[in-house]
Amino acid sequence: MSVLSTPSASLNWREQSGCLYHDLRVRLRNAGLRPTRQRVGLGWLLFARGDRHLTAEGLYEEASKARVPVSLATVYNTLHQFTEAGLLREVAVDGAKTYFDTNTTQHHHFFVEGENRLLDIEGQEIEVATLPAIPDDMEIVRVEVVVRLRRKEV
């Protein structure tokens, strides 16, 4: 499997040139985002390795290691721009930090307490059977399920 061809990373691409770097730039431009050095660098880190759950701080550290010159403020800005453009999804779990998920398809999450790790639950593996009535003037944006896990006592 090509590094940029995971389902969620490739789903809406308009072009597939075979050059992954070029494809990323096209993808950004299609999202209305100028493919600047830092956006391409961060996009590469985010989308080139399959589905990931990252915090801003985490991505910033990866960028440093990968010699992508970027400031923490720009990492925050970029993550929000990517989210707005539909390339990422913000995930709400316990804890102060915000996680960003490269898998934007319908799915849910495991959250490992203590380790603060997020794992995908694929769409079919969980199912919400019945939904309660909601007020007339409201509509459902999304249903989020978080299964909290803990490492068993030994």
Partner DNA sequence: TTACGTGCAAATAATTTGCAGTCCC
Partner DNA sequence: GGGACTGCAAATTATTTGCACGTAA
Residue 69 binds a copy of itself, judged by CB under 8 A: no
Residue 98 binds DNA, judged by CB under 7 A: yes
Site size for DNA (CB under 7 A) = 24
Closest CB 89 distance from a copy of itself, rounded Å: 11
- Taking CB under 8 A as the criterion, which residues in 108-137 touch a copy of itself? 110, 112-113, 121-122, 125-132, 134-135, 137
Task: Name the amino acid, one letter, at 25.
Answer: R
Tokens of 94: 């316990």
Residue 147 binds a copy of itself, judged by CB under 8 A: yes
Q: Which residues of 64-102 are buried (b: 16+ CB within 10 A; e: fewer)?
A: eeeebebeeebbeebbebbbeeebbbebebeeeebbbbb
- Taking CB under 7 A as the criterion, which residues in 55-94 touch DNA? 55-57, 69-74, 76-78, 80
Tokens of 139: 């509509």
Whichever of 73 and 147 has its CB closer to a copy of itself, that residue is: 147
Q: Which long-range contacts (CB under 8 A, 24 or more apart) does 149-154 make?
A: 149/110, 149/111, 149/112, 149/113, 150/112, 150/113, 150/114, 151/112, 151/114, 151/115
Residue 90 site contact among a copy of itself, DNA, none (CB < 5 to 8 Å, cut-off depends on kind): a copy of itself
Which residue ranges make up the site for a copy of itself (CB under 8 A)? 90, 92-96, 110, 112-113, 121-122, 125-132, 134-135, 137-152
Binding site for DNA (CB under 7 A): 29, 33-39, 55-57, 69-74, 76-78, 80, 96-98
